[in-house]
Amino acid sequence: MATPGLDDDSLQQLRSRATQLLLKENWTEYIAVCSLIIEAFDAAAACKDRRVLCSTLAHRADARARLGDAPGALADCDAALAADPAHPGALLSKGAVLRGLGRYSRAAECFRAALAVSGTDEVREMVEQCKRLDAQARSGAVDLSEWVLAGFSGKCPDLAEHVGAVEVRRSAHGGRGVFAVKNIEAGANLVISKAVAIGRGVIPDAADSGEKMVVWKDLVDKVLDAAEKCPRTASLIYTLSTGEEPEDELPIPDMAHFKQETEELDDGTAMAPKASLDVDKILKVLDVNCLTEDAAPSANLLGSNGVVNCGVGLWILPAFINHSCHPNARRTHVGDHAIVHASRDIKAGEEITFAYFDVLTPASKRREAARAWGLECQCDRCRFEASDAIVGQELTKLENELVNGRGGDMGALVVRLEERMRKSMVKERRKAFLRASFWSAYSALFDSDKLVRKWGRRVPGEAAVAESVAGAIGGNESVLRAMLRGADNGNGCGNRLEVEDKVVRIGRATYGRVVKRQAMRALFRLTLDADSNKSL
């Protein structure tokens, strides 16, 4: 049938052209050609056969979604569904866009409606996948066991974003921070966040700053592109600090903005006319808020796609988490998602903190690292180490020996520290802080059979030291490795079952509750195999 406003031949030509562009994955031109077809249909308002119009709208929606234009894609799907509420292509496209936006229950509704029209196993699986992701988004429970046991091969497991029992409040650390709103056990997931964008590359160890700039530029381009296409993304980026605002004036964002399912789709943000971007502000936000994947156990580094060794990205809610040298949270990177978990038990009302840099180092080294981040850490541990009158002087001497006395007998140093702490009746919690600060000396002692034979009886066992340090800085690969080695040497702290239980608890505190016990053993093997000086 001839389409008013466009004769059959012209329509056929446009459709052939569209198919060619589709095969070439030239989405921008494909969208332009689809738009010509749609305009022609719009001009022919009386046309009864709307199938071509609906399919073209659904195809343009897919192309827009591929280019990251979710609002445009949804508008196309809605236009197609207004003309034919049971159009399978439009239902599938809308489901896919909603799934990409993390609106799993609404995506499942679309897939279910599509299944009713043309039921295939593939669509049934889409419904099931959305149900799984919806449950995961609500509970935060993730199971990566199969993937870990398969040696991280194949596609990363699907993950949904999740906001656990946390909220953004004003922080004593500076500006805003993220706080627990109920008691949380070590290992529990707090936040699962998909990156706005990640810049990745292969950077040789001795890379010059030019190579790093390429990765940075890649990230900047991707973030600007994402913000340009999605007003919601832009407005989330603008909630982050540029580092220039007075800290007490930084607004506290409404948590609903971070929760995909609770945020209204038609709140005006999605369809708002695109305001021009404040590029300067976004660049400053990136400077203050980016996280690197290699600062945490990362699927890339754990072996899944080992070609990439440098990833820097922007994850919105994790960017509100402040630093502490006595941190209670860590993150793991799986694909584009950052999973933030409790690395110690956390009490309701406590601030959630990460270590921005290695905190298994003495106070002076941490001060230097903090300065490089433009902050002065005032956490319990730093305040104790800066002020303690009893251990103070001796501590400075020991610290100088540790930092400057390369090659000295680290066993003797550990013995002096332990004896000093015993004489000064330093409480367990503070002993743990100091052991964390002198971790390299403890590691050197336990790494050497000779030093263990010489000093072993005058210091606590390796597993006991590891357990104590995990209490101060939470789970950590290096600490877990010491716990595993200590437990293996019978150098543990308790009977066999107690030690096993402690090992699993530190394992969960290190990697999060993302695997079952059997898969945890695979992570233990990786931890033990890893070079002791290198994070996983």
Ligand X SMILES: C[S@@+](CC[C@H](N)C(=O)[O-])C[C@H]1O[C@@H](n2cnc3c(N)ncnc32)[C@H](O)[C@@H]1O
Name which of 323, 412, 406 is nearest 367 in CA terms.
Answer: 323
The span from the CA of 90 to the CA of 100, in Å, is 15
Query: Smaller CB distance to ligand X: residue 243 or 392?
Result: 243
Residue in 174, 297, 335, 411 binding ligand X, rule: CB under 6 A: 174
How near is the Cβ of 426 to ligand X at its closest, in Å?
A: 24
| Of 240-248, 255-263, 266-274, 465-473: span binding ligand X (CB under 6 A) | 240-248
Give the interface size with ligand X as a residue count (CB under 6 A): 19
The span from the CA of 475 to the CA of 186, in Å, is 9
- R_g over Cα of the chain: 27
Q: Exposed e or buried b for every residue in 280-311, given b needs 16+ CB within 10 A?
A: eebebbbeebbbebbbbbbbbbbebeeebbbb
Residue in 183, 241, 364, 448 binding ligand X, rule: CB under 6 A: 241
Residue number closest to ligand X, CB atom: 175
Residues 358-417 that bind ligand X (CB under 6 A): 374-375, 377
The span from the CA of 404 to the CA of 400, in Å, is 6
Query: Smaller CB distance to ligand X: residue 41 or 320?
Result: 320
**Cβ neighbours of residue 442 closer than 8 Å, sequence gap 6 or more:** 410, 414, 435, 459, 462, 465, 482
Residues 489-508 that bind ligand X (CB under 6 A): none
The span from the CA of 187 to the CA of 501, in Å, is 14
How near is the Cβ of 514 to ligand X at its closest, in Å?
A: 24
For residues 453 and 430, the answer to whether their CB atoms sit within 8 Å is no
Does residue 106 belong to the site contacting ligand X (CB under 6 A)?
A: no
**Which amino acid belongs to residue 369?**
A
Query: Smaller CB distance to ligand X: residue 366 or 508?
Result: 366
Query: Smaller CB distance to ligand X: residue 81 or 314?
Result: 314
How near is the Cβ of 311 to ligand X at its closest, in Å?
A: 17
| Of 60-68, 105-113, 263-271, 322-330: span binding ligand X (CB under 6 A) | 322-330
How near is the Cβ of 353 to ligand X at its closest, in Å?
A: 7
Does residue 286 belong to the site contacting ligand X (CB under 6 A)?
A: no
How near is the Cβ of 375 to ligand X at its closest, in Å?
A: 4
Query: Smaller CB distance to ligand X: residue 96 or 240?
Result: 240
Residue in 151, 243, 405, 408 binding ligand X, rule: CB under 6 A: 243
Query: Smaller CB distance to ligand X: residue 381 or 513?
Result: 381
Residue in 319, 355, 395, 441 binding ligand X, rule: CB under 6 A: 319
Please give the angle made by the CA atoms of 305, 309 and 315, to the nearest 5 degrees. Answer: 90
**Cβ neighbours of residue 391 closer than 8 Å, sequence gap 6 or more:** 420, 421, 424, 426, 434
The span from the CA of 477 to the CA of 530, in Å, is 9
CB neighbourhood size of 114 (10 A)? 24
| Of 267-275, 315-323, 453-461, 470-478: span binding ligand X (CB under 6 A) | 315-323
How near is the Cβ of 368 to ligand X at its closest, in Å?
A: 15
DSSP 304-336: TTTT--EEEEE-TGGGGPEE-SS--EEEEEETT
Query: Smaller CB distance to ligand X: residue 250 or 346?
Result: 250
**Which amino acid belongs to residue 410?**
M
Residue in 189, 289, 332, 476 binding ligand X, rule: CB under 6 A: 289
**Which amino acid belongs to residue 421?**
M
Residue in 64, 106, 173, 330 binding ligand X, rule: CB under 6 A: 173
How near is the Cβ of 216 to ligand X at its closest, in Å?
A: 17
Q: Which residues of 293-434 form beta strands (DSSP E)?
A: 310-314, 322-323, 329-334, 337-342, 351-354
Query: Smaller CB distance to ligand X: residue 176 or 365?
Result: 176
Q: Which residues bind ligand X (CB under 6 A)?
A: 173-177, 240-241, 243, 250, 288-289, 319-320, 322-324, 374-375, 377
